[in-house]
A and B are shown apart, each in its own frame.
Chain A
Amino acid sequence: MHPAPSIIAFTTLSGLGFGLFFWLGIGMPGSTGMVAFVFFAIAFALAGGGLIASAFHLGHPERGLLAFTQWRSSWLSREAVLAVATLAVMGLYAIGRIFLGTTWVPLGWLGAALAQGTVLATAMIYAQMKTVPRWRSILTPALFLSLSLGGGALLAGQVTWALILLVVAGALQLAWWWQGDRAFAASCTTMASATGLGAAGQIRAFEPPHTGPNYLLREMVHVIGRKHARKLRIMAFGMGYVLPVVLLLIPFSHVMGALAVISHVAGILAARWLFFAEAEHVVGLYYGKR
């Protein structure tokens, strides 16, 4: 799949933002006043900024309101509804914590649940795609949720939780890669099933339907860049998981904390780039490509 920068930025940043909302919602940290203001500002910037980045991906953002209507069937619509509900609930909750010095606990828990519901919906958009075997796994939502919670804990200064959750997320990342590398073969979709010509013999794509590029090839059959996948995986894993954990294990200082956050975000951006670039859509089979 084509790794569109807007979607990579959106899923990474909003995942972090909604993760931070979760910890703020359950009162970890339970600061009020100016300190709370800074925390909520970061969360709103990440989550809201991510949503704006995703709007750039649309052909007709001016019709965006329609995307709130199909929550019964569509994960993308559910994501939109949940995201806006989270921002609204957390906005109200933030007013209490910043300006009134009070913590509306039930509202906070509701916001925390909505925040993780949003991340789940984002993950399900990918996990539901039968056409992209690498994505279609229970591990996809597990990875997204653990990353959001782990990254959120990192931003919220919850060192112990961040350590636990980043180790869990790292393990899920490895499992997801391991499973993803076998998923296409396991899906049983081949050129033979795509064309129905398998019984007649060995199939080879002889001539494509068009001599130039087209939307399908640009969007779904992204083969450039996979060459460096191995190196990028090592970089993403080192920066996204290993280095932050090491930095958190040495005695805490704000500089180390900031370094851990920067390293984590850079690593996850790289992992998210691979999430798209390495994903093979079955339509490539019609072109004799993967």
Chain B
Amino acid sequence: MTSLPTHTQRKLGLVIDLDTCVGCHACVVSCKGWNTENYGAPLSDQDPYGAEPSGTFLNRVHSYEVQPTDGAAQLVHFPKSCLHCDNAPCVTVCPTGASYKRQEDGIVLVNEDACIGCGLCAWACPYGAREMDMAAKVMKKCTLCVDRIYNENLPEVDRVPACVRTCPSNARHFGDLADPGSAVSQLVAARGGMDLMPEQGTAPVNKYLPPRIKDRLDQSDQIDILAPFLAPVTDQPKGFLGWLDKALDRL
């Protein structure tokens, strides 16, 4: 049924820290690695070693340059995967019931056996979180690694999404955002976690932590006590140096 649940008991999702993400794309690779051999159809590539390689990914990292009105520009790396929206427009447009949001934990999934590959859900998602697989002709999206987080065959430390487990700079956090006491909820509260495109009314579960202002070399105060002694001695050389200066000028 592609009607949305009125309420989900938990809201499992990710908190992504734009301050610490270094843009290494490790989460992109680990996501592709895990998900190409687990839930559903593999994530195919087309022309992978040719001139125009293209493929299906569930997680991608953009990079933006932010230029403040004064001071140095800042580079922000921006990972983006499905935000498991509470008010997911991708679910309600699906004609077959293949797209659904789980009542128990809020994860948005695609039942690939029922997907007719119409692509309408990808149109409805404002974030570009859904990609049609060109080989399997079904819609692929982030599963929040549903086959890891409940998987008792894995050591407990691995029962988190592949991208979270891999991230070397701890920029991705996984947890229940419906529980105000959870570590992720506290992180969101402490760091001012935000929604992407709030005006679209999707009520995303995933939150983004804004980057802090980086060190500003151009604005740092000079506190070097020797600095006055290193200032240029004179602008107007006298004596021999003055004569040389003028002579060279005249040449």
Chain A interfacial positions (CB closer than 8 Å to B): 1, 57-61, 63-64, 66-67, 69-70, 72-77, 80, 125, 128-132, 187-189, 193-197, 199-216, 219-220, 281-283, 286-287
A-side contacts of B195, CB under 8 Å: 196
**A-B contact number at CB 8 A:** 192
Give chain A nearest CB distance to B15 CB in angstroms. 13
Candidates A59, A80, A193; contact of B115 at CB < 8 Å: A59
Q: How far is the CA of A59 from the CA of B115 in the complex (A)?
A: 8
Contact A286 B116 (CB under 8 A): no
Residues of B within 8 A of A (CB): 1-3, 18, 25, 28, 52-57, 60-69, 73-76, 78, 80, 89, 92-98, 114-120, 122-128, 131-132, 134, 137-138, 194-201, 208, 210-211, 213
* B64 and A203 contacting across the interface, CB-CB below 8 Å: yes
Contact B2 A204 (CB under 8 A): no
Task: Using A132-B123, A193-B197, A201-B74 as known contacts, list a sample of 9 further A-B pairs with CB atoms less than 8 Å apart, ordered by residue number in A.
Answer: A59-B116, A66-B96, A72-B1, A131-B125, A197-B211, A200-B210, A200-B213, A206-B65, A212-B54
Whether the pair A70, B123 counts as a contact (CB closer than 8 A) is no
Q: Provided the pairs A76-B93, A196-B196, A201-B69 are in contact, do residues A215 and B134 lie with their beta carbons within 8 angstroms?
A: yes
Query: When the two chains form their complex, are residues A283 and B57 in contact, meaning their CB atoms are under 8 A apart?
Result: no
Contact B93 A202 (CB under 8 A): no
Q: In the bound complex, do residue B60 and residue A210 qualify as a contact, i.e. CB atoms below 8 Å apart?
A: yes
Q: Are A196 and B97 in contact (CB under 8 A)?
A: no
7 shortest interchain CB distances as A-B pairs: A59-B117, A59-B137, A209-B60, A77-B95, A66-B96, A201-B68, A283-B128
Q: List chain A residues, Cβ under 8 A from B57.
A: 209-210, 214
Contact check, B66 vs A202: say whether CB atoms are below 8 A apart: yes
B contacts with A: majority SS: loop
CB-CB nearest in chain B for A128: B93
- Pairwise interchain contact B138-A131, C-beta atoms closer than 8 A: no
**Are A63 and B114 within 8 A (Cβ)?**
yes
The CA-CA distance from A207 to B1 in the complex, in Å, is 39
Interface-central residue, B28, B73, B78, B115, by most chain A CB under 10 Å: B78
Can you list 7 contacts pairing A with B, beta carbon distance less than 8 Å? A63-B115, A69-B95, A189-B126, A197-B210, A201-B69, A215-B132, A283-B126
Residue of B nearest to A68 (CB): B95
Residue among A61, A72, A202, A209 making CB contact with B116, cutoff 8 Å: A61
Residue of A nearest to B55 (CB): A214
**A131 partner, pick from B97, B98, B200, beta carbons under 8 A:** B200
Q: How far is the CA of A256 from the CA of B126 in the complex (A)?
A: 46
Q: If A129-B123, A214-B54 touch, does A202 touch B67 (CB 8 Å cutoff)? A: yes
CB distance from B195 to the nearest CB of A (A): 8
- Do the beta carbons of B201 and A201 come within 8 Å of each other? no
Knowing A66-B96, A282-B126 touch, does A201 contact B67 (C-beta < 8 A)?
Answer: yes
Q: Provide the residues of chain B in CB contact with A215, threshold 8 Å.
A: 54, 56, 122, 131-132, 134
Taking A193-B197, A286-B128 as contacts, is the C-beta distance between A67 and B67 under 8 angstroms? Answer: no
Q: How far is the CA of A153 from the CA of B55 in the complex (A)?
A: 47
- Among B28, B96, B124, B200: residue with most chain A CB under 10 A: B96
Is the CB–CB distance between A282 and B200 below 8 Å? yes
- Chain B residues within 8 Å of A58, by CB: 116-118
Q: Given A66-B97, A70-B95, A281-B123, does the pair A203, B65 have CB atoms closer than 8 Å?
A: yes
B residues near A205, Cβ cutoff 8 Å: 62-64
Query: Could you say which residues of chain B place their CB within 8 Å of the CB of A211?
Result: 53
* Given A59-B132, A76-B118, residue A212 in contact with residue B89 (CB < 8 A): no
Asked, given contacts A76-B93, A200-B210, whether A212 binds B53 with beta carbons under 8 Å apart, the answer is: yes
Q: Could you say which residues of chain B place their CB within 8 Å of the CB of A61?
A: 116
Complex Cα–Cα for A179 and B250 (A): 69
Report the minimum CB–CB distance from B43 to chain A (whole Å): 11
